Amino acid sequence: EVQLVESGGGLVQPGGSLRLSCVASAFTFSSYWMHWVRQAPGKGLECVSRINGDGGSTTYADSVKGRFTISRDNAKNTLYLQMNSLRAEDTAVYYCVRGGLSGGWNGKAFDIWGQGTMVTVSS
Amino acid sequence: DIQMTQSPSSLSASVGDRVTITCQASQDISNYLNWYQQKPRMAPKLLIYSASNLETGVPSRFSGSGSGTDFTFTISSLQPEDIATYYCQHFHNLPYTFGQGTKLEI
């Protein structure tokens, strides 16, 4: 079964750091763009960051630029999100999401979502 | 940034009703639009991709249409298990943005 499983969330003080991980299974991980999408409690969805298949291209939402870093280890089928200088407004469930094919558009993106991991930034 | 205006924000309907949700983009996004269903405490689930394509395993009572700036999501006959919040999302150019959601109640 195609699956994404996140981990690494928790409670952190403002200004602190956290690293999220997402392990992919049952598909060719290196062939896909991967995204982090977050959802603050009771709020809508926000795309945070994305990375292409070989890790050479990354983009960030303005709200996290300079504080968050996305990366991937294709040998381990794992996506990461390093979050530094955390703020209260970063409190959210963070989802790992499969994007489109990295080598060319196949008509589908955001089709597989992990279960999410909760990040709470509070003193 | 492209703004996605989704309406209504909430909707009450009865089992068997035909339900329609609209999503308007602030500029032409061709067919780069998805529709998702999210139930409480669960991850969003892709229902419709590229505006009108039904995701594998999704019941045929769900459908999507539209292109350019105006899109429609329809449930042809509402079932109790369809109670959820529904979101549209464009992926035409960065940043990819979501509609604010439609909470569907019976």
Per-residue pLDDT of A38-60, as tens digits, reads 999 999 999 999 999 999 999 99
B43 vs A: CB within 8 A? yes
- Parallel, antiparallel, or unpaired for β A32-39 and A92-101? antiparallel
Phi, psi torsion values for B64, nearest 5 degrees: -140, 155
What pLDDT score was predicted for residue A4?
A: 98
Contact flag B96-A95 (C-beta cutoff 8 Å): no
Give, rounded to a whole angstrom, the gap between the first and last alpha carbons of chain B.
Answer: 34
Confidence category of residue A84, pLDDT binned at 50, 70, 90 = very high
Predicted confidence (pLDDT) per residue in B24-52, tens digit: 999 999 999 999 999 999 999 999 999 99
Q: E strand or H helix at B1, and its extent?
A: none
Q: Within an 8 Å CB–CB cutoff, is residue B94 touching chain A?
A: yes
Can you tell me the distance from the alpha carbon of A75 to that of A72, in angstroms, rounded to the nearest whole number? 9
Confidence of residue A105 (pLDDT cuts 50, 70, 90): confident
For A36, name the nearest residue in chain B, comparing CA atoms only: B96
In chain A, residues 58-117 whose CB comes closer than 8 Å to chain B? 59, 61-62, 95, 100, 107-111, 113-116
Which backbone phi and psi does A73 adopt, to 5 degrees? -125, 100
Query: Could you give the CA distance from residue B99 to residue B106 in angstroms, rounded to a whole number?
Result: 21
pLDDT value at residue B105: 95
Residue A103 token pair: 């080598």
In a 10 Å sphere around its CB, with 0-12 CB exposed, 13-18 middle and 19+ buried, how is residue A59 labelled?
Answer: middle
